[in-house]
Amino acid sequence: MSDTETGAAGPVENGAGDLTGPGIRVLAQFTRDLSFENPRAPESLRAVGDAPQIDIGVELNARGRGDGLFEVDLKLNVDAKRAGEPAFNIELVYGGLFQVQGITEADLEPVLMIEAPRFLFPFARRIIADLTTDGGFPPFMMEPIDFVGIYQARRDQAAAAAAGNVVIGQA
């Protein structure tokens, strides 16, 4: 098989399966932790009244490994309530093992905190939809997540905290 390019700016793969340019490759995906709670079943399954209010939480974590690979975790919390009573709660930590090559140190964090979660999200979304269905509810299809916005908010928050620490330290 000949070398093929995966995109206009994507990596080129040699015959041995190695990347020979800047790029990111998903080596493995896995469920690290999963919890589904339906504390009021079967009463919570009645579709009476208003649609449930759903709150979603998103956390991202990345860490390097000794073998040069990176683990990225996408943690999703989905909390549904109807009339103030819990309907269901889902906690999912979905992870991936990534090979990143040819990326500058300055670009590594955005790649791990934006691009890697973009690869993981569709699979985590399917797990959540399947869980709600298996729990007796209609499938909950999460809207796409703005990982760029989350990354920028996290950076702004860290910069504000650092600025606050400098001011406190000078006082």
- Which mean pLDDT values do the consecutive 10-residue runs of the chain (171 residues) have? 42 54 91 95 75 93 94 98 90 97 92 96 98 92 95 90 60 39
How many residues comprise the chain?
A: 171
Virtual torsion, Cα 28, 62, 32, 74, nearest 10 deg? -100
Residue 64 lies in domain: 23-170
CATH number for the domain harbouring residue 116: 3.10.420.10
Q: What is the pLDDT of residue 40?
A: 86
CA distance 56 to 121: 14
Domain annotation covers residue 155? yes
**What DSSP assignment string belongs to 7-75?**
STT--BB-TTS-B-SSEEEEEEEEEEEEEEE-TTTTGGG---SSPPEEEEEEEEEEEE-TTS-EEEEEE
Q: Is residue 15 part of a domain?
A: no
**For residue 165, what pLDDT is reported?**
59
Please tell me the predicted confidence (pLDDT) of residue 4: 40
Q: What is the pLDDT of residue 169?
A: 42
